[in-house]
Structure formats: C-alpha cells, structure tokens
Amino acid sequence: MQDIPDKIHFIGIGGAGMSGLARVLLDLGFDVRGSDLNSSQVTERLKAAGATVFEGHHGHNVTGAGLVVVSTAISGDNPELRVATESGIPVIHRADMLGLLMERQKGLAVAGAHGKTTTTAMLALVMEKCHQDPTILIGGELTDVGGNAKLGRGKYLVAEADESDRSFLKLYPYLAIVTNIEDDHLDHYGSVDEIIKSFRYFLQKIPADGAGVLCFDDTNVRDVAPECGGAVITYALDNPEADYVLRDIKLEPGRSAGEVYFRGQRLGLIELVVPGRHNLANALAVVAACLKLGLDFNEIAASLKEFRGAGRRYQYHGCVKGVTVVDDYAHHPTEIAATLRAARQVHAGRVVAVFQPHRYTRTSLLHKRFGPCFQDADLVIINEIYSAGEKPIEGVSAQLIVDAAREFKGDDIVFLPTAGDTIEYLLNNDQEGDLILTMGAGDVWKTGLALLDRLKEN
C-alpha cells in the first residue's frame, strides 16, 4: 500500500461509506479526524474509538491534516474543501481511499443496482464465520461486526462498490459480485447504456486469476460478462444455463430455502431467516464467491443460516398493540416490489407501505415505473419527496408517483406529505395485525419509530 499521511481528515465523516473507512484507518493507527453537520450515533462511536470529530463544516477544521477525504456529496464550495485546496493539502475521493486499502488485501467487491448492502453483509458474515478474518466495509450496519466496518488481519477485504457516481471504477477487486444492472442514477449517467458501459470497465479491472460472480437472471449482466478480466462464474434462480442454480425454492414465514446445484450436481441446502426470493439470490452469489475462494459448502450454508440482515434492510423495529413496524431502504421500483413480496411471504395480516420518494431527479425519471410496484401492499401511504440536497424541479412532486400508483391500486393509495400526517392517519386507521413497512433512502425510518412511541402512549 502506498504511503498515506498520518493525519487524515474526512469531510462528512458520519456518512455510511466515510465512517467505515475512518474506523478502519483508526484501527490501523492513523490520526483520524473529521466533520459532519450534526452529531449522530455514528460520530459518537468514532469519537469513542479515538477520532476527533467536529460538528459543522469550518475551514479551520482541516488545519494540520496531511490528507483530506471527500465523497461525491461534498460540493466544491464546502469551506473545508476550499481551505484544503487553497492550502495545498491533498484531497482524494473516498473510493480512492478504499482502493488504497484494497492494496493491503485481496478485494472482494459487491456491485449492482440493488442488493449491494445485503449481499456484502452476507459475504462479510460468511467470511468471518469461516475464520477468514476479513477487513469489512459495508454501507449498512452489521450486528455481527458491531457496526459497518472492521479491520481484519486475513488476506481479504470485503467491500460494497458504489456505482452511483462511477466511483467504483477506482477499485481493482480480486473478485466482484454483480447482482444486477438497472436504470438507477440516471441523473449522473444520462442513460442505461452509460451505466452498462461503466460495469464493463469495472469487470475489466479484475485480474486474470480473479473472478466475476455474475447474476445470469439479469440481461444487462449477461451482456457485460465477456468483459470480465478473470474467470466468469454465473448464478441464477431462473436461468438454468448458469453455473450455480437454486431449485426447490421454499418461501415460508421465518424461512427461505433452496437446493444449490453446480453444473447439475447437487451441493446441498441453504436456508435463510431473512425473507424474500431476492435474498436467496443474494445468498447464492455468496455461495458461488466463497466456493471460488476455497471455503467449505457446509460451513458457508451454516453461516448463511445465522444471517440476520443489515441495517435498514427489512429491519424490525418493534411491535406494539399488535402493530409491527419494519423499515427498509428500498427506494427504486424494483426494490420496493421485492421488499413487498418478501413482506407478503412472512406476514399474514395487512401490509401497509409508507413510502418516501428519494430525490427529484429519480422521481422525474422513474415515476411511471413506480405505478405497479406496490401491488403486494394492502394500503400505500406516499410522503412528499426527500430531496437529499437536490434543488426542486418544476412540476416534480410526489403527486407524480401517487397518480401512477392509483392507476393500479386506486383508493388504496393515500398521499400524506409529512411524517406527522402519516402518524396521525395510522393511529386512527391501524388494525391489530398490521405490518407497517416504511421504505425509502431518506429519513422515513424515523416515522416508524415515532409511530411505535405514540402507540405506547395511547
């Protein structure tokens, strides 16, 4: 690994990707400091681990830093970035830092439009349980490692590869899982063709002795497979031509299972406690990757059975007076449909979806695609758009999604702009046995927690 200055400053240290990098660098012995607009559990954990964390972005915070790390979310007019640039302090993107850490160990990266965090978490857990002691960097919380990151002394680094801004092209993984390629982040790419092109480049970076573990249920993934620099290993639930397939799939409350076959030979059963066919696909990818690395199938299967999910991925928050609250990060139509199918698998009562659209650009580009994705919900509440820092676009609001969804579900779609409106409506209309499923990449999870608190009071 090339030399890294001892004193490293993270602008936006509380972010999912940034905080993980900061934690690993702390454990490597670096002097880590950083800033974030607000204090959080994440920043408090980093402080407890030895980081210096400033609240708010101020130019003087970077004084003394030998290197500044930023994410795409940091704008050019950020006062700390401006001072660092004017002072000649080197500035790198967080993906560059991840790439530097990958030089220490063999990188195992997970990329794709959907399922990245869960698949990365599954892979990390299996590697940990199978005594590989990997370094782990995930976009969500994993209970088994006590957060979203862990420094390991083994030969592998497990990380989520973010395609949203092309930053995953800064990585050179030894092995990469690609779960799917779809029309997300069009505000950055402009077209699906550009997204596909970036995945071609990503797979070309895999060395000849490495591998791409590719989902052959996905047409776009099949198209980029020939570009892989290493061996191509394929998996699928619906495509019998894949190397690894899953047969005799069972989707039951508290159990998702299937028989793994490799080129026609039965390897054995995998079982999950997390729901959903999509999670079986994620697990099959992990099986294929870990077998490529020489792990034992029975140990892999036993480890997967212990997987309890990642933070904000079908995360159980509580049950009060017969009303259960679960939260999920789903914010793209494909993710929402898969999450609702999983909810229907495990829940016998009403499924009430509370969806907060994420970003004006995504709403503008995909609003018609949201129309049919709520079919497995009994009732759908749609909130106003969470901007994620974007400026409003004239004519773009959550009403676009409401109108599209009503074409399929009519009066089962309710538009309630705010969290307060949503909570009051649910308190007056909930039924014993309801599952309230909050979905979105913004702060809709807070609505679920606040609802539980109000139910306790009533």
Q: Residues with catalytic annotation?
A: 116-117, 160
From CA 62, how far away is CA 85, in angstroms rounded? 10
Residue 115 assigned as binding residue: yes
Asked if residue 447 belongs to a known ligand binding site, the reply is: no
Sheet arrangement for strand 435-439: 315-320, 323-328, 435-439, 351-355, 379-382, 413-415
* 331 in a labelled binding site: no
Sheet holding 91-93, edge to edge: 52-55, 31-36, 7-11, 67-70, 91-93
Whether residue 253 contacts residue 92, with contact meaning beta carbons closer than 8 Å, is answered with no
Q: Is 15 annotated as a binding residue?
A: no
- Residue 64's Cβ-count burial label (10 Å; 0-12, 13-18, 19+) is exposed
CA distances from 405 to 51, 62, 402 (A): 46, 47, 5
**The pair of three-digit structure tokens given for residue 414, joined into one six-digit string:** 């309710």
DSSP category for residue 383: P
CA distance 96 to 254: 40
Structure tokens at 345: 């698998």
Q: How far is CA 227 from the centre of its chain?
A: 25
Tokens describing residue 125: 């857990």
Pairing of strands 52-55, 413-415: unpaired
| Distance separating alpha carbons of residues 23 and 101, to the nearest angstrom | 12
Take residue 49 and report the two structure tokens written for it.
């681990």
Give the DSSP per-residue string, 107-131: EEEEESSSSHHHHHHHHHHHHHHTT
Residue 52 known to bind ligand:
no
Q: What is the DSSP string of 29-45?
A: T-EEEEEESS--HHHHH
| 43 marked as binding residue | no
Contact 417, 384 (CB under 8 A): yes
CA distance 92 to 68: 6
3-state secondary structure of 60: helix
Expressed in angstroms, the distance from the first to the final Cα of the chain is: 58
* Euclidean distance between CA atoms 32 and 321, whole angstroms: 45
CB 5 within 8 A of CB 66: yes
Strands 435-439 and 91-93: unpaired
Q: Is 154 annotated as a binding residue?
A: no
Q: How far is CA 148 from the centre of its chain?
A: 11
Name the binding residues for ATP. 112-118
